[in-house]
Amino acid sequence: MTAGGIAGTGAPRGSVVYRIEQGLRYAAEIPAAILVLAEIVVLLAGVISRYVFQSPLVWTDELASMLFLWLAMLGSVIALQRGEHMRLTAVVAGFSPAWQARMAALAAGGVALFLLILLPSAWDYASDEWFIETPALGMHNTFRAAAIPLGAALMVVTALAQLLRLGWKDVLFGAAVLGALALGLHWAWPALKGLGNWNLVFFFVLLLGAGVLLSVPIGFAFGLATLAYLATTTSTPLTVVVSRMDEGMSTLILLAVPLFVFLGLLIEMTGMARAMVAFLASLLGHVRGGLSYVLLGAMYLVSGISGSKAADMAAVAPVLFPEMVRRGSNEGELVSLLAASGAMSETIPPSLVLITIGSVTGVSIAALFTGGLLPAAVLAIALAVIARFRSRHEDLSGVARASAREVARTFIIALPALALPFLIRAAVIEGVATATEVSTIGIAYGVLAGLLLYRQFDWRRLYPMLVETASLSGAILFIIGAATGMAWALTQSGFSHQLALAMAAMPGGAWGFLAVSILAFVVLGSVLEGIPAIVLFGPLLFPSAKLAGVHEVHYAMVVILAMGIGLDAAMRRIWPYLLAVLTGLLVVAAVPWFSTGFL
């Protein structure tokens, strides 16, 4: 699962397409960067007024929520411009260059088609919101909901500009395939309606699966399948899809997503991550396999700050990889260990997957944050055992053990950075602050530490960091919105109820339910990121898990780790580490105490 696409090819400088894309870039990136900064300031003001002055500002959450939808949609535009929407590229990568261009045209055409169908309904939805006023600010809700049609319009222009980069034959191929599909659905709708719920196989297995395999961005593939199903087999107005997307993207808990993403980028920029790695290296760098242990320990600590797996890896890898290569480690081996540790980090608070689970299932965020630490430790130990064996030929010549003085020096330097993950976890777990509030506290802490303690704060990097935060957050939130719409369609069809009954009736009680869930989420993790899979199936399966006698926090850890196995399975050198992750998963599944012992 990667982010990518034709957005990275670039139009010739000075061409009409280039000028269009530059205009679109400025139209999305500058407001999005301002919105990220505004969210941080507004929410931090609310935290300070509540906890310092004991005088809560009643309008901060309301304003932050209004700005949040604009941030999500403009971030989605930026992600589309950069080719950063999540998509499966493994299948198309095996095609010839000519067929890759045709698939790029098909993917961009599918994005444009979905948005063009959605636009009129999005405008109607935003217009209808005029009759709703916010309680504290007294603003018409249209000012918030207008983000959806405007963002969709900008993405339409972006997708069309991407098509203009391609040859006319490729564009004609994409248009012909999409046109033939639309005509086929129009012609076959009586037969599809007559199939009852079996038509779900066509729309949400065959059609959706084809879109994902052919590299249509996952969020747009979800949206296309949902619109095709509703328009062909039901009389449901498409404004319902827009409202479901709005609901999915606007959940207040998800405000923590861009804030933790930005925090992850901040700790890398300010040198906090490097200080933590340096301390761990001074402790363990001289032993065989020591840098592998440092990598695992650093991922465990850094994951406790950022919540974004991509940001965690970006903070740790550049610091360790050069020295590991010098010691004779294979680069593929290092990437495999890093990827496997990424699967481990998904259960470490404040993981975005944990926040998403809390958002869509109602499970306590504090409980999830508490329950995620030990399962990650189990996986870290399993991965360390494999790393020790795989590094048995490591060249330690010239590697000296750090003196006690050096260890103490690096510890003192790293102490402010080491304190931050414990501050974040303690604040949420003890109920002192919400995940969103503690993320703003973490950002303020990181800024002060970078300016005053580490003296590393490159102001020139601030704007790119804000834009990158908007892009990654927009890609995640758009998937959540599209998956929410798709989940609603599945619920209305009756499939959700049937699935819940089938899962609850699994033989073997709780153990049978866990075994089937592990298999299902390993498969889902092979084609979907964890967040869309959770949005789609979390509301269905978590109540069933409870009925089967599985604790909801324990179930959350099991499915997260199972999806991590699916995401990593495609890498050639990862199999020994994957076996370690699988072993850790089975241990966590068999011993609920690791997930629930400290609740």
User: What is the per-residue pLDDT across 360-378, written as a single tens digit (0 to 9) for each?
Assistant: 888 888 888 888 888 988 8
- Residue 117 · residue 225 · CB < 8 Å: no
3 SS3 class? strand
Tell me, yes or no, whether 256 lies in a domain: no
286, 429: one domain? yes
Maximum Cα–Cα distance for the chain, whole Å?
Answer: 79
Strand partners, 2: 87
Tell me, yes or no, whether 112 lies in a domain: yes
Which of these, 134, 157, 181, lies nearest to 81 by C-alpha position?
Answer: 157
Tell me, yes or no, whether 96 lies in a domain: yes
100, 160: one domain? yes
Q: pLDDT 10s per residue in the chain (599 long)?
A: 555 554 445 566 667 777 888 888 899 999 999 999 999 999 999 888 888 888 888 888 889 989 999 999 999 999 999 988 988 887 888 899 999 999 999 999 999 999 999 999 999 999 999 888 888 888 889 999 999 999 999 999 999 999 988 888 999 999 999 999 989 988 888 888 777 778 888 888 889 989 988 889 999 999 999 999 998 888 888 899 999 999 988 888 888 889 988 998 898 888 888 888 888 888 887 887 787 888 888 888 887 777 666 667 777 777 777 777 776 666 666 777 777 787 778 888 888 888 888 888 888 888 888 888 889 888 888 888 888 887 777 767 777 788 889 889 999 999 998 888 888 888 877 777 788 888 898 899 999 999 988 888 889 999 999 999 999 999 989 999 998 998 888 888 877 677 777 776 777 778 888 888 888 888 877 767 677 888 888 887 888 888 888 899 999 999 888 887 766 554 556 677 778 888 888 888 888 888 888 77
Q: How many domains does the chain have?
A: 3
237, 293: one domain? no
CA angle 179, 184, 189 (to 5 degrees): 130
pLDDT (0 to 100) of residue 88: 80
467, 480: one domain? no
pLDDT (0 to 100) of residue 447: 92
Question: CA–CA separation, 74 vs 153, rounded Å?
Answer: 11
Question: CA–CA separation, 46 vs 437, rounded Å?
Answer: 8
Contacts by 460-467 with C-beta closer than 8 Å and gap 24+? 461/269, 463/33, 465/262, 465/265, 465/266, 465/269, 466/32, 466/33, 466/36, 466/37, 466/262, 467/29, 467/32, 467/33, 467/78
Task: Indicate the residue among 447, 471, 495 that finishes a domain.
Answer: 471
pLDDT (0 to 100) of residue 81: 92
pLDDT (0 to 100) of residue 144: 93
Buried b (16+ CB within 10 A) or exposed e, 433-449: bbbbbbbbbbbebbbeb
- Residue 33 · residue 464 · CB < 8 Å: no
425, 570: one domain? no
422, 485: one domain? no
Instruction: Count Cβ atoms within 10 A of the Cβ of residue 50 and give its class: 0-12 exposed, 13-18 middle, 19 or more buried.
Output: middle
281, 229: one domain? no
Tell me, yes or no, whether 451 lies in a domain: yes
Tell me, yes or no, whether 255 lies in a domain: no
Q: What is the pLDDT of residues 179-218, one digit of tens each?
A: 999 899 888 888 887 777 788 888 888 899 899 888 899 9
Range of the domain at 466: 266-471
Which of these, 204, 255, 212, lies nearest to 232 by C-alpha position?
Answer: 204
pTM, entire model: 0.87
Beta strands in 43-115 (DSSP E): 86-87
384, 273: one domain? yes
Task: Indicate the residue among 408, 439, 471 that finishes a domain.
Answer: 471
401, 414: one domain? yes
User: Which position has the token pair 């530490």?
Assistant: 449
Tell me, yes or no, whether 37 lies in a domain: yes
Task: Indicate the residue among 191, 220, 250 that finishes a domain.
Answer: 250
539 SS3 class? helix
407, 478: one domain? no
404, 516: one domain? no
114, 153: one domain? yes
Task: Count CB neighbours of 173 within 10 A.
Answer: 19
CA angle 524, 525, 530 (to 5 degrees): 105
